[in-house]
Structure 1
Amino acid sequence: MYYVKNERNGKEIHDPKLNLAIEYYLLNEVKLDESILLFYINNNSIIIGRNQNTYEEVNTTYVEENNIDVVRRFSGGGAVYHDMGVLCFCFITEDDGNSFRDFKRFTSPVIDALHQMGVNGAELKGRNDLVINDKKFSGNAMYSKNGRMTAHGTLMFDSEIDAVVKALKPKKHKLESKGIKSIRSRVTNIKPFLEHSYQCMNAKTFRDQLLLYLYDTDSKENVKEYVLTDKDWEKIDAFAAEYTDNWDWNYGKSPEFDMERSDRLSVGTVEVKMNVRKGNIDVIRIYGDFFGLGEIEDVEDELTNIPYTKEAITNALNKIDINKYFGSVDLSELVDLIY
């Protein structure tokens, strides 16, 4: 496995727009003979899931007043808060057809490393959360394209939890589904659970220690690296300009909708907004924190310009593989949400 440092001219990058651009550049264009590991630590930012409605996930007033970047990633899942106390990890590998949504495969090495540092209660719980004593310290997501995939996540090492609470706007039914009353009640940092000998670490030294555990070595000199070149950076900059540093990508224009439906389904939160004109679906947008392959626009296209009837919606969804786009969802629950 190759390790890639997110450094430019010897200086570590903390700009989330560039760090996400590095990640997707490695996924799309850098094909090595082994998988790739990337770590990065971002300045204060909110990273939005591919299919989420930015305005409804983010406390825009707080974000603007505190100069917090908002960047949309390419994978599904929910919004997460990043700061200098959060370590982000990313595994990039070939998609073998069986690994997508297999979060255990990619999080187990991280959990094992945490166990070695004394965090014995760390475990994978639910579809994609890492927890300590049922409190979440890591959210994970995946994205697959052209036979390659990235599995990435956050590790809340020593994050400002109050900022997390203020910056995000979780949906009420999402909180209720987990039997909790607030974000603060279900998140925690890793640092308090580490053995005493590790308490002096910050997120960067924690990253360095985690790197040694993942590579089973006592020295970083034994870690195989791929070093980003000037040509790599040209493409990374171009990618950032088109996507991660582009307002239309991160926020996007959202028309006014006549009808809105939102619920917590078996695959996560799914939200549908649409305009119905003369009995037909004129415009429809689908948002959510579900994990899917392909572009959700394919589903929206099938549902556009059809009668707003249960039969027509069912027939349209039967034309596509809904499990590809949403995960293992029942057709009936999806139809009931839309209709």
Structure 2
Amino acid sequence: MRYIYNKSTDPAFNLAAEEWLLTRDDEEIFMLWRNEPAVIVGRNQNTLAEIDESFTRERSIPVIRRLSGGGAVFHDLGNINFTFIRNSSPCEGLDFKYFTAPIQEALGNMGIDCNFSGRNDLLIKGRKFSGNAQHFHKKRLLHHGTLLFSSEMADLSGTLRVEPEKYRDKAVKSVRSRVTNISSHLPEPMEVTEFISYLLNFVSKGTAPEQWELSAKEREEIESLARKRYRTWKWNFGSSPAYNFRRVSRTPAGTLDVNMYVKKGHIHRIRLFGDYFGIKDICDLETMMLSRRHQRVELESHLSTIDLGEYIRDIDLPTFMDCLF
């Protein structure tokens, strides 16, 4: 098995690294890595339904889709991610306990008692600190999990807070849990980088640290994959399952009731109901948004050249955009 400490903190690069290592050959892998603040959504999720759009936009927090299923998670530099890649067959099924056992052993060696719970979680004193997911590619299995070490809990809850009634779809929904940081349970204080070194040494049984790096050629190929997939709107948002969106908002123009159907990230149907006033036919405004991405930047740019007040009196463009997300 190869042991890797991937020191990149770019979420698009890091998720690309997992896919590249999974698909390139049959080498078995254990890798540790961290991301700068980012929301990572599951393969089968509706991205916009999982995030607080205004919270992530105002803080420039990227939202990236991963290969595996499961729910959305918030990553920051206080969260450590671990990845196992093993040669396996789908007929063997998913086994979360097997891959979380080394983590439990490593923490137990430090005096922290933790246990496996539910389908895919690790808990300390009843609070979640690790969620896990898996993905098969041909005869290769990717298992990855989070380890909350010293994450900012306010950001963790803020990025994933959303009004549940706005989106109607068949996508997998996230389940929120009470969480805790590993650092709160350590017998002695430890920096996150110290914990990474400890964990990698424990799992690798002392493999030399100079062997933990990705090569320059590997990083170049991974970055190419990141550009093609993990940095694109098509993968991160456009791959969401089709959904119906409804939001009723009180605005200076009156009540605005937005109803739309979105497929492959593009608006296929939209109706704007409400008690607002306007000079021009609202159907013309609705038509302008058809086939456009359900994406704030694109809609804002597309509608910036029109006089919105002619269709909905006393509303400005930022307020109108807030009604659409």
TM-score, normalization: structure 2?
Answer: 0.68
Decide whether aligned partners of structure 1 residues 125 and 171 sit closer, same or farther in structure 2, where only a CA change above 3 A counts. Answer: farther
Which stretches of structure 1, 4 residues or more, deviate above 4 A after TM superposition? Answer: 170-173, 253-260
Q: Distance in 1 between the 2:69 and 2:120 partners?
A: 11
Alpha carbons 2:37, 2:77 under 8 Å: kept: yes
Decide whether aligned partners of structure 1 residues 257 and 74 sit closer, same or farther in structure 2, where only a CA change above 3 A counts. Answer: closer
Structure 2 counterpart of 1:247: 233
Q: Does 1:130 align with 2:116?
A: no
Decide whether aligned partners of structure 1 residues 79 and 98 sit closer, same or farther in structure 2, where only a CA change above 3 A counts. Answer: same
Structure 2 counterpart of 1:113: 106
- Please point out which of 199, 203, 214 is paired with 1:210: 199
Q: Does 1:89 align with 2:82?
A: yes
Q: Residues 276-298 of structure 1: CA distance to partner in whole angstroms, max 9, x if unpaired?
A: xxxxxxx9xxxxxxxxxxxxxxx
Decide whether aligned partners of structure 1 residues 249 and 212 sit closer, same or farther in structure 2, where only a CA change above 3 A counts. Answer: same
Bigger Cα Rg: 2
Q: Distance in 1 between the 2:202 and 2:240 partners?
A: 45
Q: Does 1:77 align with 2:70?
A: yes
Q: Does 1:151 align with 2:148?
A: no
Decide whether aligned partners of structure 1 residues 274 and 147 sit closer, same or farther in structure 2, where only a CA change above 3 A counts. Answer: farther
> Which amino acid in structure 2 is aligned with residue 53 of structure 1?
N
Alpha carbons 1:85, 1:202 under 8 Å: kept: no
TM-score, normalization: structure 1?
Answer: 0.65
Decide whether aligned partners of structure 1 residues 232 and 64 sit closer, same or farther in structure 2, where only a CA change above 3 A counts. Answer: same
Decide whether aligned partners of structure 1 residues 255 and 232 sit closer, same or farther in structure 2, where only a CA change above 3 A counts. Answer: closer
Q: How does 1:294-309 map to 2 (within 5 A)?
A: none
Q: Distance in 2 between the 1:150 and 1:207 partners?
A: 20
Which residues of structure 1 form unaligned runs of 5+?
A: 7-11, 174-181, 261-272, 276-282, 284-339
Deviation of 1:153 after TM superposition, in Å, equals 0.3
Q: Residues 137-159 of structure 1: CA distance to partner in whole angstroms, max 9, x if unpaired?
A: 01100011121011000000010
Alpha carbons 1:3, 1:224 under 8 Å: kept: no
Alpha carbons 1:100, 1:144 under 8 Å: kept: no
* Matched position secondary structure for 1:150: strand
- Please point out which of 115, 118, 134 is paired with 1:142: 134
Deviation of 1:29 after TM superposition, in Å, equals 0.4
Q: Percent identity among equivalent residues?
A: 38
Q: Distance in 1 between the 2:56 and 2:40 partners?
A: 12
Structure 1 counterpart of 2:276: none
Q: Residues 92-132 of structure 1: CA distance to partner in whole angstroms, max 9, x if unpaired?
A: 01014455421000001101111111111x11100001111
